[in-house]
Amino acid sequence: MTRPWLDRVNPVTKLVMALVLSVPLFASIDVVSGVVAIGLQLLCLPLTGLRLSTVLRRLLPIMIFAPIAGLSMLLYADPGGEIYWSWGFATISEDSVSLAIAVGLRVVALGLPTILLFGSTDPTELADALAQVAKLPSRFVLGILAGTRMLGLFIDDWRTMSLARRARGVGDGGALKRFFSMAFVLLVFAVRRGTKLAMAMEARGFGSDIPRTWSRPSRLHGQDAVAVGGAVVIMVLALAAAVALGTFRFIWS
């Protein structure tokens, strides 16, 4: 089976692309650049191998948070244009509405690249790239990789605890109390499992200062330059559209 084009891009290149697709958006708070950036990124969806439904499902928490981020701008931004509602320090005006929408779109535009770029990235490939291409310390990289591999176990532990509590008849009431008690138990599991993992890795020589060898080499290729260039083009088009339509609003202005 042929891997999606973006899966063949080096994970370190994806990190660079994520920065390129996010940092320039902080230059302006406007609706146009956010909409254009989101639209162009979604057009690249076939390159990721992800389904639109999968992307939308992973984007759902960000879309829930986005209106909350825009709420403070809606109520407390400097009023401008027509005033719709005012009470105490809170004022909803024409400018604050547009700023709130722009902030909400910014949140989505900042989260979408991470989902598209790393939605199908293998953690082991990312660790190989960080150690070989980014030249990060191998002990740090391998520790992060081992911790990442444990995340799936935490989900299984949570599900098992929920079923066990329900089987004992203590899992149906007090949702808030149940959550904190299960979270504490999960924390205990995490500490114990982390201690055992650290001892096992130390016993196998992962803590040695001897330079490591890697079974799978990680290298940069021509498609990595193409990928970064594509990310730059997306940002240039998004900001240029805002400038052309007169909506570009420098964040410090």
pLDDT tens for the 253 residues of the chain, in order: 577 888 889 999 999 999 999 999 888 888 899 899 999 999 999 998 888 888 989 888 888 888 888 887 777 666 666 677 677 777 777 677 787 888 888 889 989 999 999 888 888 898 899 989 998 888 888 888 888 878 778 888 888 888 888 887 766 667 777 888 888 888 888 888 888 888 888 887 777 777 778 888 889 999 999 999 999 999 999 999 999 998 887 776 5
- Kindly tell me the burial class for residue 220, based on how many C-beta atoms sit within 10 Å of its own C-beta (0-12, 13-18, 19 or more): middle
First to last CA, the chain: 51
Residue 42 is predicted with a pLDDT of 92
How many CB atoms neighbour CB 129 within 10 A? 23
The two structure tokens encoding residue 134: 């980014």
The two structure tokens encoding residue 182: 């299960």
Q: How far apart are CA 94 and CA 79, in angstroms?
A: 7
DSSP the chain: -PPPGGGGS-HHHHHHHHHHTTGGGGGB--HHHHHHHHHHHHHTHHHHT--HHHHHHHHHHHHHHHHHHHHHHHHHSPP-SSEEEEETTEEEEHHHHHHHHHHHHHHHHHHHHHHHHHTT--HHHHHHHHHHTS---HHHHHHHHHHHHTHHHHHHHHHHHHHHHHHTT-SSS-HHHHHHHHHHHHHHHHHHHHHHHHHHHHHTTTT--SPP--SS-----HHHHHHHHHHHHHHHHHHHHHHHTT---BTT-
Q: How far apart are CA 2 and CA 49, in angstroms?
A: 10
Token match 């992307």: residue?
A: 55
Q: Rounded to two decimals, what is the model's pTM?
A: 0.80
